[in-house]
A and B are shown apart, each in its own frame.
Chain A
Amino acid sequence: MSNGASGGTAVAAGAGQSRTSRAAEQTARGALNFSLGIVILFALWWLGGNFIASNPQTASFAGFGLIPTLQAFPELWHLGKLQHAAAASGLRLGAGLSIAIAVGVPLGILVGRSKRFRDLSNSPFQLVRMISPLSWMPLAVLVFATWDGSIVFLIAIASVWPVIFSTAAGLAKVDPAWFKVARNLGANPVQMLTQIIMPAISFDIFTGIRLALGVAWVVLVPAELLGVTSGLGYAIKDARETLAYDQLTAMVLTIGVIGYALDTICALLIKRFSWHRGDA
């Protein structure tokens, strides 16, 4: 009896160990592939930079190469340009996304729950969604007192749509029986929202936020090319106007790295809140 139990524990422990070692192996493989991929990209970039620098006609653009770009980073950091740009852009992005989530999630729940609202809102929402966000710019500049306000507005109006539609799609997938069970157990509307709707659709909301982040990231830089004197878009424009090509590519690389990090965080959150596939 005790033998069997300990045997079971041993098997379980063995399985657990092999699972952790497999997970460790996978992580190592992932890290290796990640680094190798980046190394290949940088090697190609280095080759291209050398090619540009060796041709006398294009030698003035040698700053685009890998080595000058990497050398520009400490300088940008010491001048504080990098931190300022990232902080200013981060503030605008965060404010715009927060507004998009605060507006988009309730609207998405309404779209998902009310057939009447869904039917009627479809054509106006699709029309307004397909108005390219940056074409609101002249209007935003007139309506909002500050450039910061109009940039936040542009980011919010660009990123509200994925949040609305993902939330609505998530709600449509929820089993209607859950609502009946909750009502039978005496749930009030607030409990319905916090106990049923939010846990069920958090996966879809995060998927929507990830899409929204991608769109907001596309809109942020052109919005900052005009008017303002801070942020990642301005830093790029500034580097171009001063012909500091090494700083230009350094800022472009920074934008890619920050975007990659934010996107990865969203992907992790999506995995964490997923209950669709993680059943087994």
Chain B
Amino acid sequence: MSANTTTVAGSAATAGRTQSRSSVAFNSMANSVGNFCGGLAILFALWWLAIYVASLNPALSQFASFGPVPAFKAIGHMWHSGLIPKALGTSGYRLGAGLLIAIAIGVPIGILIGRSRRFRELSNSPFQLMRMISPLSWEPIAVIVFAGWDQAIIFLIAIASVWPVMFSTAAGLAKVDPAWFKVARNLGAKPWHVVTEIIVPAIAFDVLTGIRLALGVAWIVLVPAEFLGVTSGFGYTIEDARESLEYENLMAMLLVIGAVGYVLDTACLALIKRYSWHR
């Protein structure tokens, strides 16, 4: 009987705690949504103010179209005229293809670096040297080697983003407890099993961290790579807006690039959190 009471009291306490925890979680979420919107509101207010003050000066009055209101209107126009969806499609394809190639090459090489001391020591200097070759300086070579501009851009993105994937994978593998491999071997794991049951779950977190860094670099490389040659994508749309003096379109593209990048980065962050087992 008394045990029963304790259980009931205990479960009541648990229920209370769960409720308070969920309300705490709700509060902190409401708080972060408030901060998110408040921060963006401040940014847009400062932007509006800066352009307003600048356009008060008659010599700078043509800069009024750089303000947030024309930019938001332009996003509507550009969406309906298909400019933004088309740029999203082509840039997204190039980014995705480049990142996929970087992951397909970077993860196996990273595993090799992490597992083989000999390979790590020998590959360090050439890899560091090639990593520090600014990706866009490959451009003239890429244009000669590849038949299409699209392939050249994908190559530039891939060569820029392969290094973070590679080094994160290697660093992740270095942190794995060697005892795990021994245990797996003792339990009769085949090399294939060691890869799928030990290595991949252990380094998923680090690989995703590397992919997030790679996305950041690829995002920087994408726009200048599209300035030349091609007639589609974010970079081209910006260049086009500048040449036709449509400054509201220019600012609209800046916003779209920032927003899409933010969403991609947040998605990577959520994946990293999902696969984290360190903390």
Is A256's CB within 8 Å of the partner chain B?
Answer: yes
How far in angstroms is the closest Cβ of chain A from B139?
8
How far in angstroms is the closest Cβ of chain B from A263?
6
Is B222's CB within 8 Å of the partner chain A?
Answer: yes
Contact yes or no, B220 A134, CB < 8 A: yes
Contact yes or no, A130 B219, CB < 8 A: yes
Is A218's CB within 8 Å of the partner chain B?
Answer: yes
Contact yes or no, A38 B125, CB < 8 A: yes
Is B128's CB within 8 Å of the partner chain A?
Answer: yes
Cα A136 to Cα B125 in complex, Å, equals 34
How far in angstroms is the closest Cβ of chain B from A63?
11
What is the interface residue range for chain A against chain B? Answer: 35 or more
B134: chain A residues at CB < 8 Å are 217-218, 220-221, 232, 255, 259
State whether A123 and B36 are in contact (beta carbons under 8 Å apart), knowing that A134-B220, A218-B135 are contacts in the complex: yes
Q: Which residue of A lies closest to B91 (CB)?
A: A132
Cα A56 to Cα B196 in complex, Å, equals 47
B35: chain A residues at CB < 8 Å are 119-120, 122-123
How far in angstroms is the closest Cβ of chain A from B220?
5
B259: chain A residues at CB < 8 Å are 127, 130
Q: Which residue of B lies closest to A226 (CB)?
A: B227
Cα A263 to Cα B56 in complex, Å, equals 46
Among A1-53, those with CB < 8 Å from B are 29, 33-38, 40-41
**Which one of B1-9, B180-188, B197-205, B250-258 is at the A interface?**
B250-258
Is B147's CB within 8 Å of the partner chain A?
Answer: no
Is B12's CB within 8 Å of the partner chain A?
Answer: no
How far in angstroms is the closest Cβ of chain B from A161?
9
Among B2-26, those with CB < 8 Å from A are none
Contact yes or no, B40 A225, CB < 8 A: no
**Total interface residues in chain B, CB < 8 Å:** 61
Interface string of A128-164 (1 = CB under 8 A from B): 1111111111110000000000000000001000000
Cα A257 to Cα B128 in complex, Å, equals 9
Among A223-240, those with CB < 8 Å from B are 223, 225-226, 232-233, 236-237, 239-240
A135: chain B residues at CB < 8 Å are 223, 234-235, 238, 253-254, 257
Is B122's CB within 8 Å of the partner chain A?
Answer: yes
Contact yes or no, A127 B133, CB < 8 A: no
Contact yes or no, B141 A131, CB < 8 A: no
Is B217's CB within 8 Å of the partner chain A?
Answer: yes
How far in angstroms is the closest Cβ of chain A from B226?
9
B85: chain A residues at CB < 8 Å are none
State whether A131 and B132 are in contact (beta carbons under 8 Å apart), knowing that A38-B126, A138-B238 are contacts in the complex: no
How far in angstroms is the closest Cβ of chain A from B46?
9
Tell me which of A120, A131, A255, A260 has the highest count of chain B C-beta atoms within 10 A of its own C-beta: A131
A33: chain B residues at CB < 8 Å are 121-122, 124-125
B36: chain A residues at CB < 8 Å are 122-123
Contact yes or no, B223 A260, CB < 8 A: no
B221: chain A residues at CB < 8 Å are 218
Q: Which residue of B lies closest to A240 (CB)?
A: B140
A138: chain B residues at CB < 8 Å are 238-239, 241-242, 250
Is A199's CB within 8 Å of the partner chain B?
Answer: no
How far in angstroms is the closest Cβ of chain A from B181?
25
Is B76's CB within 8 Å of the partner chain A?
Answer: no
Tell me which of A214, A223, A239 has the highest count of chain B C-beta atoms within 10 A of its own C-beta: A214
Is B171's CB within 8 Å of the partner chain A?
Answer: no
Is A61's CB within 8 Å of the partner chain B?
Answer: yes
Interface string of B39-50 (1 = CB under 8 A from A): 110110000000
Among B101-141, those with CB < 8 Å from A are 121-126, 128-141
A-contacting residues of B (Cβ < 8 Å)? 31-32, 35-40, 42-43, 66, 121-126, 128-141, 144, 160, 217, 219-225, 227-228, 234-235, 238-239, 241-242, 250, 253-254, 257-262, 264-266
A-B contact pairs, 8 of them (CB 8 A): A37-B125, A41-B126, A132-B223, A134-B223, A214-B132, A260-B128, A260-B129, A263-B128
B-contacting residues of A (Cβ < 8 Å)? 29, 33-38, 40-41, 61, 64, 119-124, 126-139, 158, 214-215, 217-223, 225-226, 232-233, 236-237, 239-240, 248-249, 251-253, 255-260, 262-263
A-B contacts besides A33-B122, A139-B66, A239-B140, 11 pairs, CB < 8 Å: A29-B121, A33-B125, A37-B122, A37-B126, A124-B42, A127-B43, A158-B220, A217-B132, A218-B134, A222-B225, A225-B136
